[in-house]
Structure 1
Amino acid sequence: MRIFTAALATETNTFSPIAIDKRAFEASLYARPGEHPATPTLCTAPITVGREVCAREGWTLVEGSASWADPAGLIARATFEELRDEILGQLQAAMPVDAVVLGLHGAMVAQGYDDPEGDFLARVRKLVGPDVLVCAELDPHSHLTAKRVGAADFLVAFKEFPHIDFVDRARDLWAIAVRALKGEIKPVMSVFDCRMIDVFPTSKQPMRGFVDKLYQLEKTEPGVLSLSVIHGFMAGDVPEMGTKIIAVTDNNAAQGAALAEQLGRELFSMRGTFMVAQVDEKEAVEAALRAPKGPVVIADVWDNPGGGTAGDATVILGELIARGVQDVAVGTVWDPIAVQICFAAGEGAEIPLRFGAKSAPLTGDPIDKRVRVRKLVRDAQMRFGESFAPFGDAAWISFDGIDVILNSTRAQSFDPSLFSALGIDPKSRRILLIKSTNHFYDSFSRIAGEIIYCAAGKPYPNTPATTPYQKARRTIWPMVENPWAE
């Protein structure tokens, strides 16, 4: 067998002011054929797992380019077309192939393209013809469009949020592909539209139980090959935004459609109960000060670079400063200019510095302090499951009993190693202020005395009922109370 694999991925917050060009991909991951490292990024596990599978099977794996940019705003049209056409050209050169196995995200939006992944998959299908297997792994925070479903034989999404299972789901993707290529099964995909948009953390009930049910059904239901929930991405203003269920069966579309609908209606019945309770910045700081044991983690859930925001909001930090709270470590505040100033000053320097709150309104005020530059690290990175996430050149500054990590490449707070990468022991601090909606939970819950979810400012469109969508359908919950009404 001869199989082509590649990856092209990012998550687009269409409300974000941060435009994306090729430099954003190069800052996160841009690997030409054969250059992808041994460890995967969030959406490139099909490449690294493919190496293992093809070596085991004695098959030829042809690698195309792998590109990943940290979430932000619209991608420049020329950048998307360049990266897309680069992979299509590599696929053309690799022909003939027996299968195409891709790593995608699913929430990419580019200038002039509401559905870049659908466009890409359709071009792949046209190139290889109707008989070649085409499949892809997706992030669940994506848009499942009819064009994508029509172009792919099957799609598999991560089940967990936080996405600790992206390698495991890539193994599922490849396992189905291998059996299909050997003629043992014929994957057929069925989709159900849940007519809703919500946030579904799997670290708590009821989503924890729902996902466990999917795992069980995959093991016990005859003919079921894969079950995925496409959560949807509420910050993507596109026509087919929303939550959907994918059922992949062994040549039984009717079985898949019935099961997808059953699961989708069950999910809809629990709407509005999934997200953990959030407090504002004043309540968050007060609760942290009352906590009997540290470190207390305050998660700034909506200034999350993983959702396309800048990650430079200062609302919670401003409240901590106003209250005179000390023994605090903040990771991170995105401010490339402040980082440059710190690097120019050098370690040990004491300088006046303005940082943060430069990207958008409703993100707080810039912080003006005389700070000490404690440590400088080039190309810093933190762990994320089996992978590493870069956060660029970084500076540890301190003032008034508060430590802040400034970073030059936007990245959410995946893991406590973001602090230790700069020489800060996260376990020794009373309060850790981080920026993430839920990806932080798996790692930070292991060291936290308490976790507080804080909704501060308005850097992210987190209220779909009132978000000023221009393209997204308004016939789903919570835009309407009963989307099933005729």
Structure 2
Amino acid sequence: MRIFTAALATETNTFSPIAVDKRAFEASLYARPGEHPVTPTLCTAPITVGREVCAREGWELIEGSASWADPAGLVARATYEELRDEILDQLRAALPVNAVVLGLHGAMVAQGYDDAEGDILSRVREIVGPEVLVCAELDPHSHLTAKRAAAADFFVYFKEFPHTDFVDRARDLWDIAVRTLKGEIRPVMSVFDCRMIDVFPTSRQPMRGFVDRMFALEKSEPGLLSLSVVHGFMAGDVPEMGTKVLAVTDGDAALGAALAERLGRELYALRGTFMVAQVDEVAAVDAAIAAPVGPVVIADVWDNPGGGTAGDATVVLAELLARGITDVAVGTIWDPMAVQICMAAGEGAVIPLRFGAKSAPHTGNPIDRRVTVRKLVRNAEMKFGESFAPFGDAAWISFDGVDVILNSTRAQSFDPSLFSTMGIDPTSRKILLIKSTNHFYDSFSKIASEIVYCSAGKPYPNRPAETEYRKARRDIWPMVENAWL
């Protein structure tokens, strides 16, 4: 067997002012054929798992390029087309192949391409023809369009949010692919439109139990190969935005359709109950002060670079400073210019510095302080499950009893190693202010005395009923109260 694999992924917040070009991919991950590191970067797990599987089976794995950019705004048309065509040319050069196994995100939008994944999958299908297996692993914060479903044999999505299972789901993808290539099964997809958009953290009920039932069904239901909830991505203004349920069965589309509809209607009945309650910055600081011990984690949930925002909002930090709160560590505030100034000044320097709140309105005001540059780290990384997430050149600055990590590559706060990499012991601070919606939970919950979810400012379009969409459908909840009337 000859199998081609490659990855091209990012998550596009179409409301974000931060454009994505080739440099954004190079800052996060750009690996030419055969140069992908041993550890995966989220959507590139099909490549690293594919190496294991093909070595075991004695098959030939032909690697194409792997590119990942941290979530932001629209991808420049020239960048998308260059990276797409690079992979397509590699596929043509690899022919004949028995299968194409891809790592994609599912919420990429480029200038001129509302459905980038549908575009690349359709072009892959045109190249290999109808008989070659085409499959992909995707992030659930994505858009499952009719175009991409028609072009592929099957998809597998991460089940967990936080996405701690991206390697496990890549193994599921490859297991189905191997069995298909050996003639043991014939996967078919069935999709149910839930007519809603919501946020579904699996770290709490009711989504925790829902996902556990999906796992149980995959083991107990004859003919069922895979179940996925495609959460949707409310910051993507595209025509087919919304939540879907996907069932992959062994040649039984009717079984898949029935299961997908049953689960999808259950999700709809639970709409609005999945996301944890959030408070504003005043209440968040009140709660942190009142906690008897730390560290109290304040999660600035909507200024989350993982959702495409800048990660430079200062609303919560300004509230802490206004009240004279000390024993605080902030990770991170994205400000490449401030990092550059700190790098030039050097460790130990005491300098006047303005940082934060440069990217967009409703994110607060820049902070002006005289700061001490405590530590500088080039190409800093933090842990994220079995992988590492870069946050670029970074500076630890301190002032008024507050420590702040400034970073040059946008990244949400995945893991406490964000702090320890910079020389800060996160367990020694009363308050940790981080930027993440839910990916932080798996690791930070292990050290936190309390977690406060804070909705501060308006860096992210987190209220779909009020969002000024231009392309997204308006016939789904919560844009309408009952989408099934």
Verify same fold: TM over 0.5: yes
Query: For 1:480, what is the secondary structure of its paired residue?
Result: coil
Partner of 1:293: 293
Structure 1 residues not aligned, in runs of 5+:
none
Q: What is residue 75 of structure 1 aligned with on the other side?
A: 75
Once residues 84 and 176 of structure 1 are traced to their aligned partners in structure 2, the CA distance between those partners, rounded to angstroms, is 25
Q: C-alpha displacement at 1:482, in angstroms?
A: 1.1
Equivalent residue number for residue 432 of structure 1: 432
Work out the CA distance in 1 between the residues paired with 2:278 and 2:7.
35
After superposition, residues 238-277 of structure 1 pair within 5 angstroms as: 238-277=238-277
Q: CA RMSD in A?
A: 0.3
Normalising by the residue count of structure 2, what TM-score does the alignment of the two structures yield? Answer: 1.00
AA partner of residue 198 (structure 2): D
Inter-partner Cα distance in structure 2 for 1:484 and 1:270: 14
Query: 1:96 corresponds to which residue?
Result: 96
1:141 aligns to 2:146 (yes or no)? no
What is the CA–CA distance in structure 2 between the aligned matches of 1:229 and 1:292, rounded to whole Å? 39
Q: Which residue of 2 aligns with 1:465?
A: 465
SS for the counterpart of 1:55 is helix
Q: Distance in 2 between matches of 1:419 and 1:483?
A: 44
Secondary structure of 2:267's aligned partner? helix
Q: Which amino acid aligns with 1:230?
A: V
| CA deviation profile, 1:101-126 (whole Å, cap 9, x unmatched) | 00000000000000000000000000
State the SS of the aligned residue for 2:298.
Answer: strand
SS in 2 for 1:63: strand
The residue correspondences of 1:372-391 to structure 2 (distance < 5 A) are: 372-391=372-391
Whole-Å separation in 2 of the counterparts to 1:95 and 1:257: 34
Give, in whole Å, the separation in 1 of the partners of 2:165 and 2:396. Answer: 31
- For residues 483 and 328 of structure 2, the distance between their equivalents in structure 1, rounded to whole angstroms, comes to 46
Query: C-alpha displacement at 1:464, in angstroms?
Result: 0.1
**What does 1:224-235 correspond to in 2, within 5 Å?**
224-235=224-235
Work out the CA distance in 2 between the residues paired with 1:466 and 1:297: 29
CA shift digits 1:26-73 (9 cap, x unpaired): 000000000000000010000000000000000000000000000000
Displacement of 1:339 in angstroms is 0.1
Which structure 2 residues correspond to residues 308-387 of structure 1 after superposition, within 5 A?
308-387=308-387
Deviation at 1:458, TM superposition (A): 0.2
Return the offset for 1:483: 1.0
SS of equivalent to 2:180: helix
In structure 2, C-alpha distance between the alignment counterparts of 1:236 and 1:420, rounded to whole Å: 34
Share of identical aligned residues, percent? 84
How far apart, in 2, do the equivalents of 1:364 and 1:483 lie? 36
Q: List per-residue Cα deviations over 1:370-407 (Å, max 9, x = no partner).
A: 00000000000000000000000000000000000000
Alignment match, 2:218: 218
Q: Does 1:186 align with 2:186?
A: yes
How far is the alpha carbon of 1:198 from its aligned partner?
Answer: 0.1
CA distance in 2 between counterparts of 1:290 and 1:215 reads 40
Cross-structure match for 2:393: 393
The 5 A counterparts of 1:87-166 are 87-166=87-166
Equivalent position amino acid for 1:228 in 2:
S
Structure 1 counterpart of 2:182, which letter? Answer: K
1:65 corresponds to: 65
Normalising by structure 1, what TM-score? 1.00
Supply the AA of the counterpart residue of 1:299. Answer: A
How far apart are the structure 2 equivalents of 1:429 and 1:97? 55
Shift of 1:199: 0.2
Counterpart check, 1:479 vs 2:450: no
Distance of 2:151 and 2:454 partners within structure 1: 40
What residue identity is the alignment partner of 1:354? R
Q: Partner of 2:17 in structure 1?
A: 17
Cα distance in 1 between the residues matched to 2:484 and 2:419: 47
SS across alignment from 1:284:
helix
Distance in 2, Cα, partners of 1:224 & 1:291: 47
Q: Distance in 2 between matches of 1:382 and 1:142?
A: 25
2:471 aligned partner, one-letter code: K
Corresponding residue for residue 42 of structure 1: 42
> Is 1:205 aligned to 2:205, yes or no?
yes
Letter in 1 for 2:474: R
| Counterpart Cα distance in 1 of 2:264 and 2:127 | 34
Structure 1: distance between partners of 2:451 and 2:323: 20
Cα distance in 2 for partners of 1:223, 1:327 equals 56
Q: Aligned AA for 1:388? A: F
Task: Give me the whole-angstrom Cα distance separating, in 1, the residues matched to 2:333 and 2:466.
Answer: 28
- In structure 2, distance between residues paired with 1:401 and 1:53: 51
Q: Does residue 403 of structure 1 match 2:403?
A: yes
Find the counterpart in structure 2 of residue 442 from structure 1.
Answer: 442
Shift, 1:130, TM fit: 0.2
Displacement of 1:293 in angstroms is 1.7
Aligned counterparts, 1:24-35, within 5 A: 24-35=24-35
- How much does 1:152 deviate? 0.4
Question: C-alpha displacement at 1:368, in angstroms?
Answer: 0.1
Tell me what 2:419 maps to.
Answer: 419
Deviations 1:306-331 (A, max 9, x none): 00000000000000000100000000
CA distance in 2, matches of 1:309, 1:392: 17
Equivalents in 2 of 1:20, 1:161: separation in Å?
Answer: 24
After the TM superposition, list the runs of 4 or more consecutive aligned residues in structure 1 that deviate by more than 4 angstroms.
none
Q: Could you report, residue by residue, the CA deviation over 1:281-325 in whole angstroms, capped at 9, with x for unpaired residues?
A: 000000000011210000000000000000000000000000100
Amino acid in structure 1 at the alignment position of 2:61: L
Distance 1:468 1:364 in 2: 22
Tell me the secondary structure at the aligned position of residue 92 of structure 2. helix
CA distance, structure 1, for counterparts of residue 286 and residue 263 of structure 2: 40
Count of paired positions: 485
What secondary structure does 1:43 align onto? helix
The AA in structure 1 aligned to 2:343 is F
| Cα separation, 1, equivalents of 2:254 and 2:386 | 37
Distance (whole Å) between structure 2 residues aligned to residue 484 and residue 451 of structure 1: 36
Task: Work out the CA distance in 2 between the residues paired with 1:20 and 1:116.
Answer: 14
